[in-house]
């Protein structure tokens, strides 16, 4: 058996015609017939019957077909794995990231990578950390940036790339901004603008207050931090936002000892053979990491 002969057999079985199979494989009909005849000789069985103009599988052919398909699939996977071992500076890189990470941290990293590897076509897909985690776990994605994942899967490898500090902030006109000193208890007296309870961000803040025996008056307008920032800027309440998102319209409250942080990670599946572009990008991130931009100056 050899791969070209197996492909000829599978194509002829699918098309029920040697002539159509030969056209699809860009072979002459005698050339395709020769490959199949050689396969039949090696197996010592007849794989096809000719009935008029139709070519149909024999019982032996029907039995052998699923095995041939599996062999070809294994051969294709082997070829892809070997190809992935070669340094690939061309091809497609499919990268998932949260909107927040993409907007605030990825631009300089991607810009430098594109300049060094112009032959790689990068497709960036904005997904939540939960979505990326699910797709990576299912082997449907190569690389994904996320904030700390909902849970650590043993099948995934997590590379910490940035510790992101979260700050307590209010509008410059908010009453908390006018106080010379602020405590966590003071924050509980005002509405908190936070993401939904199913997010790690929300649990991180709630745990901080729970450890102090404090309860929050949480308003849940959006899971998007940009929307929370806008609402905080209007004075509707206080929020916890990454340092990079503190704008001139906001005041960072003097609660630095209590400011939590979360880890931004790049994840991939340990058992998925990464493509050449993906391995290049992974090495690039390991070497350069993400950088924390300066917050907008007052």
pLDDT surpassing 50 at residue 274: yes
Model confidence pLDDT, tens digit, residues 16-71 = 989 999 998 888 999 999 999 999 999 999 999 988 778 899 999 999 999 999 99
Cβ-based neighbours of 202, under 8 Å, separated by 6 or more: 194, 195, 196, 218
pLDDT surpassing 90 at residue 216: yes
Distance CA 120, CA 183 (A): 50
CA distances from 294 to 74, 225, 284 (A): 50, 18, 22
The CATH homologous superfamily to which domain 91-162+263-288 belongs is: Periplasmic binding protein-like II (3.40.190.10)
Distance CA 47, CA 37 (A): 9
pLDDT surpassing 80 at residue 200: yes
Distance CA 112, CA 284 (A): 10
pLDDT surpassing 70 at residue 86: no
pLDDT surpassing 60 at residue 186: yes
**241 touches 232 (CB < 8 A):** yes
Given the candidates 2.40.30.70, 3.40.980.10, 1.10.10.10, 3.40.1410.10, the CATH classification of the domain at 3-84 is 1.10.10.10
Q: How confident is the model at residue 297 (pLDDT cuts 50, 70, 90)?
A: very low
**193 touches 238 (CB < 8 A):** yes
Question: Quick one: which of 237, 121, 229, 133 has its CA closest to 190?
Answer: 237
Break the chain into its structural domains and give their ranges: 3-84, 91-162+263-288, 164-262
| pLDDT at residue 88, as a whole number | 61
Q: What is the mean pLDDT of residues 243-250?
A: 93
CATH topology match: 3-84 vs 91-162+263-288:
no
Architecture of domain 164-262: 3-Layer(aba) Sandwich (3.40)
Strand partners, 219: 193
Question: Quick one: which of 49, 89, 47, 3 has its CA closest to 278?
Answer: 89
pLDDT surpassing 80 at residue 99: yes
Q: Is the pTM of this model over 0.95?
A: no
């Amino acid at each position: 058996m050899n791969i070209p002969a197996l492909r000829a057999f599978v194509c002829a079985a699918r098309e029920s015609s040697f002539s159509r199979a030969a056209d699809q494989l860009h072979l002459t009909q005698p050339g395709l017939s020769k490959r199949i005849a050689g396969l039949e000789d090696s197996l010592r069985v007849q794989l096809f019957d000719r009935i008029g103009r139709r070519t149909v599988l024999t019982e032996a052919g029907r039995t052998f077909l699923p095995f041939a398909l599996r062999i070809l699939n294994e051969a294709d996977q082997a070829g892809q794995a070997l190809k992935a071992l070669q340094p690939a500076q061309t091809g497609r890189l499919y990268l998932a990231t949260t909107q927040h990470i993409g907007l605030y941290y990825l631009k300089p990293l991607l810009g430098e990578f594109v300049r060094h590897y112009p032959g790689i076509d990068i497709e960036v897909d904005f997904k939540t950390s939960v979505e990326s985690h699910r797709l990576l776990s299912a082997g449907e994605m190569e690389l994904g940036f996320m904030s700390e994942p909902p849970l650590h899967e043993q099948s995934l490898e997590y590379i910490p790339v940035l510790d992101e500090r979260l700050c307590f902030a209010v509008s410059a006109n908010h009453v908390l901004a006018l106080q010379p000193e602020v405590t966590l208890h003071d924050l509980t007296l005002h509405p908190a603008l936070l993401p939904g309870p199913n997010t790690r961000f929300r649990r991180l803040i709630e745990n901080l207050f729970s450890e102090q025996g404090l309860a929050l008056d949480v308003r849940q307008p959006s899971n998007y931090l940009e929307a929370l920032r806008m609402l905080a800027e209007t004075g509707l309440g206080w929020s916890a936002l990454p340092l990079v998102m503190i704008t001139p319209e906001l005041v960072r409250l003097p609660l630095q000892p209590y400011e939590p942080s979360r880890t931004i990670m790049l994840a991939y599946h340990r058992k998925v053979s990464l493509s050449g572009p993906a391995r290049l990008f992974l090495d690039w991130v390991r070497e350069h990491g993400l950088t924390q931009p300066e917050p907008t100056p007052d």
